[in-house]
Structure 1
Amino acid sequence: MRNESERRAAARRRAEHRGRDAERRVAGWYAAQGFVVLAQRLRTAAGELDLVVADRTTLVFVEVKARNALRSAIESVAPRQRRRLVAAAAIVLAGQPDWGRAETRFDVVLLVGDDVHAIRDAFRADDP
């Protein structure tokens, strides 16, 4: 029988795999809509951005959540995490000025089973 730390490590590996799979699916979903994937799992000093995609006019920072229920997916993007995403986006824009577009937004994409629920412009950088 596994000890508690082995069970936690196995659960983290499963969650990591599930997250990577969800991010790949969402990247394909954006690509099918004409967006170019600029980065996946982009790490910054403020935290990680799941996806950065763009079309000619819009740069989108995407947070991907895969859950068993829609409500738990929505609730998983709390104000603290939104602030972290905004800070990470600012770091990316400072380091990649050529990624700038006329419009920048933050999307949250929720995967529940095979269903994709995209919340476009889910929050703004200046939201409390």
Structure 2
Amino acid sequence: MSEAGEQTRRLIRGRRAEAAGRDAEGIAAAALRREDWAVLAQRARTPAGEIDLVAERDGLLAFIEVKARPSLSEAAFALGPRQRARLIAAAECWLAVHPGHGAAGMRFDVVIVAADGTARRIADAFRVGD
């Protein structure tokens, strides 16, 4: 395959992944709202990176990474150490701009979404220092 053909293939694959990620984030946000979470931000951009979702319920603030994969088991293992460190740094940036949130504490959750739209939330999926 030519270099141009490979670039086109990567571009198409990237666009599909982007669309799947947006769909998964929408599924995750809807699930959180059904559980009485207030979604404060989607795709929150910070100097340290993007946070998929920021939600709060009863003063508990959750920074949420959404992972979409063909199956829930594949999605469950998709958050590596570098991504955790990036999410922690991004959360610190977000908190600096929004200091009034999280009176009852904060945590990092992961919502995994399978290709069929099934979503599961892993509450308190990791902690700073893990």
How much has 1:100 moved relative to structure 2? 2.8
In structure 2, which of residues 28, 44, 47 is the aligned counterpart of residue 45 of structure 1? 47
SS at match of 1:71: helix
Matched, 1:115 2:130: no
**Partner residue in 1 for 2:128:** 125
Name the CA distance, whole Å, in 2 between partners of 1:3 and 1:99.
48
TM-score by length of 1: 0.93
SS at match of 1:99: coil
Paired letter, 2:122: I
> Which ranges of structure 2 fall in alignment gaps of 5 or more residues?
none
Root-mean-square deviation (Å): 1.5
Query: Does 93-102 or 31-40 show the bigger shift?
Result: 93-102
The sequence identity of aligned pairs, in percent, is 48
TM-score by length of 2: 0.91
**Partner residue in 2 for 1:94:** 96
How much has 1:43 moved relative to structure 2? 1.1
Paired letter, 1:126: G
Query: Does 79-88 or 63-72 show the bigger shift?
Result: 63-72
Deviation string 1:72-102 (CA, Å, 9 cap, x unpaired) is: 2122101111111011001100111022321
May I ask how many residue pairs the two structures share in their alignment?
127
SS at match of 2:100: helix
